[in-house]
């Protein structure tokens, strides 16, 4: 992975973590406990990825397991 891609991935994860923290706060304010919990788990996952504590998965192609093919966004 190039330095530019590593930097971009770190910046993306940092932004996602910030948004997740805000969403968690909103869910907690509305007493949406399950939603707040799930958002917290996503926040923890982002933290683990940033610290390199998530093992690399072998997904057959050798590419980044956290990237998705272009145009394949879940909704």
Interval 46-67: pLDDT, tens: 999 989 887 655 555 555 555 5
Write phi, then psi, for 31 (nearest 5 degrees): 55, 40
Contact in structure between 21 and 43 (CB atoms under 8 Å)? yes
Task: Say what the pLDDT of residue 5 is.
Answer: 83
Q: What is the pTM of this model?
A: 0.66
Q: Which two tokens stand for residue 65?
A: 């397991």
SS3 sequence of 11-37: HHHHHHHHHHHHHHHHHHHCCCHHHHH
Q: Which two tokens stand for residue 43?
A: 């926040």
Spans of all domains in the chain: 3-51
pLDDT bin (cut points 50, 70, 90) of residue 74 is: very low
């Amino acid at each position: 992975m190039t330095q530019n891609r590593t930097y971009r991935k770190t910046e993306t994860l940092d932004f996602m973590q910030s948004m997740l923290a805000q969403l968690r706060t909103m869910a907690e304010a509305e007493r949406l406990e399950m939603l707040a919990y799930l958002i917290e788990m996503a926040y923890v996952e982002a933290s683990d990825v940033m610290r390199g504590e998530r093992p690399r998965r072998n997904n057959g192609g050798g590419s980044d397991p956290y990237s998705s093919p272009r145009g394949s966004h879940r909704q």
